[in-house]
Structure formats: C-alpha cells, structure tokens
Amino acid sequence: MKLEVDQLVKRYGGTTALDSLTLRVADARVLALIGPSGGGKSTLLRVLGGLETPDSGTVMVNSRPLPAGEVGLIPYRRRNGFLFQQFNLFPHLTALENIALPLEKAHGLDRGAARDTASAALGRFGLSSHAHKLPAQLSGGQQQRVGIARAVAHQPEVLFLDEPTSALDPEMTAEVLELVQELAEAGQHIVLSTHEMGFAREVADEVAFIADGRVAEHAPPARFFNEPASPDSSRFLSRVMRW
C-alpha cells in the first residue's frame, strides 16, 4: 500500500481538524494512526476512505488520486472497505442480511450470490451459527466481527478501521484485534486509527502520530516506540504506556 498526502486541510466550521497535514508511506501492509483524542486521526481516516472531502490538499492512494466529487467517490468507496467505531449494523436485519444487502445494492451481486458470499464471510470469522440472529442478539464482539465480515466480503483493496475496539470490553477487544491481525497476515492492506499501543507496535508496518491536525512523527513501530523523535510523541507515550 502506498499513500501520498500533501498539505491536507479539513475544517468543520471554525474548527480545523486537519491543518496542512502531510504524510508519505512508500510501502506498508498496515498503517496505524495514533495520537490524542481530537487530534485528527478519525478525520484523516475518513478522508482516506472517501467519506469526507478535504477543503484543500491532495491525496494519492496506491498511486491514484482520491476522486474530488461524489460521482468519483462512489466507485472508490466500493473498491475499499470501512469499519466504524459503533458497528453500524442495521438493527432489523440478521447478520447474514447485513452483509448480503451491500453486496446486492452497492456491488451488483444477485441475491443468491450475495447470500452465498455473505455466508462464506461469516464462516471465515466463525459466525456461521449466528447468521440468522439480529444484532441485538449478538455480543459487542460478535457485532464488530459481523462488521468486519461486511467490510471485507467484497475483497477490498484497502480496509479502513476507525478505532474498531473503542466500544468493547477487554476480552472482546482481544478477540477483534486477533481477527484484524489475521487479516493483515493474510495480506489485507489496512489503515486503522487505534488507542491500542501494543497492537500498533506488534502488527503495524508504519505508525503515524497525529496531533493538532498534523503528523508530528511517522516511523516504523520499533523506532517510534523505542526512540520517539518528537517531544509530543514522547509525552504521549509516557502517559499511555505508563500503566
């Protein structure tokens, strides 16, 4: 996976979420975005995933420019996958239907092929026995696994994960992180924002520390966690790695 982000600006009213952010990743399987809450991680992820349009700046994903308008962004979103913090499953649909519906409506599969693909995705993540349950009948970890299955069922080029464990307890967090690690080891390209420092250190190829809407530091995890170059990174790690 190759990313080139240059002078990216995103504002919400009077708040500048991304402030001339620049980031270049030459070759990575997993990029972890870390940093303080409100620093711009999720906004950057949503821009990279095509869910937000920047006010200025340029983005290249795998040597292709991010489309500028909604017409171009629709096929870009279809080509990739996005997983939200709060699962965002349709409450009135079963686990199987939550995966099959986007395959029909967004990716053009017929109903039978969509259900077969959805069933295979559930089986891949150990959820076959839960296929006909509604989200309310699933645990938080199971709901997030269904969300991941939905995001990867169409074999996305890049999978964008926005703090995928933020709503989970420790046991469910470990379950979901193991699943993400399995996807990465299978070759899936992933960009994720996370507060799980141990996971970022173990699984990521590159770590970008985002604060105040900018990339304060970008390095391989071994160097970033052992010898942070930025004072902001050092202060952040001294707090979050203390306990």
Please state, in angstroms and rounded to a whole number, the distance separating the CA atoms of residues 85 and 5: 24
Q: Does an H or E element contain 3, and which? A: strand 3-12
Sheet strand arrangement including 81-83 = 81-83, 158-162, 189-193, 30-34, 206-211, 214-219
pLDDT in tens, the chain (243 residues): 999 999 999 999 999 999 999 999 999 999 999 999 999 999 999 999 999 999 999 999 999 999 988 888 999 999 999 988 777 899 999 999 999 999 999 999 999 999 999 999 999 989 999 999 999 999 988 998 899 999 999 999 999 999 888 878 888 888 888 889 999 999 999 999 998 999 999 999 999 999 999 999 999 999 999 999 999 999 999 988 876
Query: What domains can be seen in the chain, in order of their start residue?
Result: 1-80+158-243 (3.40.50.300), 90-155 (no CATH)
- pTM for the model stands at 0.92
Please state, in angstroms and rounded to a whole number, the distance separating the CA atoms of residues 150 and 167: 18
Q: What is the CA radius of gyration of the chain?
A: 18
